[in-house]
Structure 1
Amino acid sequence: MITVWGEGRGFRVAWMLEEMGLPYRLRDVDMLKGVENDAEFLAINPAGFIPALQDGDMVMVESVAIIEYLAARYGPTPLALGPDDAGFGAYLQFLHMGEAGLAGAAYIATVSRMLAPEGEKDNWGARLGMEIFESRLGLVTRQLARVPYVAGDRFTAADISVTYALEFAQRTVGYALPDAALDYVARTTARDGYARAMDACPATRAWVAGLKAQA
């Protein structure tokens, strides 16, 4: 049985698993209580960040790499494009941009604005993080002006990666997405796989519900 350790970016992994119809279990990792108190998780990922994937003796700890692993290990799947597909380059680019250029950059701004001392919340690093996010978002919206999904005409794992990042920015720093990105997120999150992943991730579901209640 595949085990997903932790939510957060683990939602990407759960969504991929749901889209592929693969059985798994989600093991909660409460980062707020202090991961140093979770010896079982630290035995899986001594670096102490989430998510992690455990598949037999194999352990992985980067959400986008995990998505690629699942597609390769348990495919073939239409969620992953191959070298012979016209959208292969775009697929790879946006699959990785979803973390490296979007979620990762927004995360720097998020932790600064939420956790930094009062006088340091709007710091240089936080501003740079959002500048990076916005520049990569421009590449996403330019692509969406041509095609409905980031790799072309069909939904792929790259859309899981990018959608997570866009929703992360909305939910954490209140980023106002442009209309093209809003329409895109509405398309991707209308999928049954997304709904099943949300049902499977209670912490994420509760977080989103709390944000809606505050709105």
Structure 2
Amino acid sequence: MITVWGGQTSRSMRVVWVLEEMGLPYHVRQVDMLAGEQDPEFLAVNPADYIPAIQDGDVAMVESIAIMEYLMARYGPTPLAPAPHDPNFAAYQQFLHLGEAGLATLMMPVVVSRFLAPEAERENWGASWCLQSFQKRLRLVRGRLASSPYLAGEAFTAADISVTYALNLGQRNCGIALGDVERAYLDRTMGRDAYKRAIERSHEGVIT
């Protein structure tokens, strides 16, 4: 049984969504990242103390995109990951990683500035730069969706899971205003049954 260590609105949502799409058995262990002390079981899996993390038998992994790729390779094949010879493979790879490296990561300085920093430091230059950079990278998503319903073409893939999380993070916590194209895209991705199940399961589990 795969254990997912995560939080209700964290990047662990990506991992749970992949598991639901693939129909794999798992359970969720909730982690409160603001807690003064963490569960030693969680720290044994990820001593760096951040989420998500998984335990799959003897395998312990962190980083949401890496975990997604591991699950699809280990328990696939799956339509979530196009084969290397697929004409859409390059776009799949690009947007799978853009969802984290080019979008979600940029939102972290904004989130910590707005919610954790002292009042006088919340509107800082670094957070403003990250917001501007997010908007620039969003052009790549918008341009791709102008020609196809999903980021790797006609079929839903893990790239959509990656980017959907980032877009939600941006609009929910960072004040990013999405356009009609992006909102229609989120309606498609978040309308999937596996997404709805993942939302329910992400709110379950043992709170550490």
Q: State TM-score, norm by structure 2.
A: 0.95
Partners of 1:28 and 1:83 in 2: CA distance: 35
Partners of 2:188 and 2:26 in 1: CA distance: 25
Helix, strand or coil: the match of 1:143? Answer: helix
Q: Show the counterpart of 1:65.
A: 66
Helix, strand or coil: the match of 1:37? Answer: coil
Q: Show the counterpart of 1:109.
A: 110
Cα shift at 1:124: 1.2
Cα shift at 1:51: 0.5
Partners of 1:108 and 1:182 in 2: CA distance: 24
Deviations 1:110-161 (A, max 9, x none): 1111111111111111011112211111100000001000111110000000
Q: Show the counterpart of 1:51.
A: 52
Instruction: Report matched runs for 1:33-182 at 5 Å.
Output: 33-34=35-36, 36-182=37-183
Partners of 2:21 and 2:130 in 1: CA distance: 31
Partners of 2:133 and 2:23 in 1: CA distance: 34
Q: Show the counterpart of 2:26.
A: 24
Q: Aligned letter for 2:194? A: G
Paired-residue identity, %: 60
Partners of 1:46 and 1:177 in 2: CA distance: 36
Structure 1 outlier segments of 4+, above 6 Å: none
Partners of 1:158 and 1:16 in 2: CA distance: 11
Cα shift at 1:30: 1.1
Cα shift at 1:83: 1.2
Aligned residues: 202
Q: Show the counterpart of 1:6.
A: 6
Q: Which runs of 5+ in 1 are unaligned?
A: 204-215
Cα shift at 1:184: 0.3
Cα shift at 1:32: 2.1
Partners of 2:136 and 2:23 in 1: CA distance: 34
Q: Aligned letter for 1:107? A: M
- The structure whose residues are more often helix, as a share, is 1
Q: Which runs of 5+ in 2 are unaligned?
A: none
Q: Which has the higher contact order (CA 8 A, sep 6+)?
A: 2
Cα shift at 1:75: 0.3
Partners of 1:37 and 1:2 in 2: CA distance: 20
Cα shift at 1:37: 3.1
Deviations 1:8-53 (A, max 9, x none): 100000000000000001011111223x332221111000000001
Q: State TM-score, norm by structure 1.
A: 0.92
Which segment is superposed worse, 134-143 or 170-179? 170-179
Cα shift at 1:92: 0.3
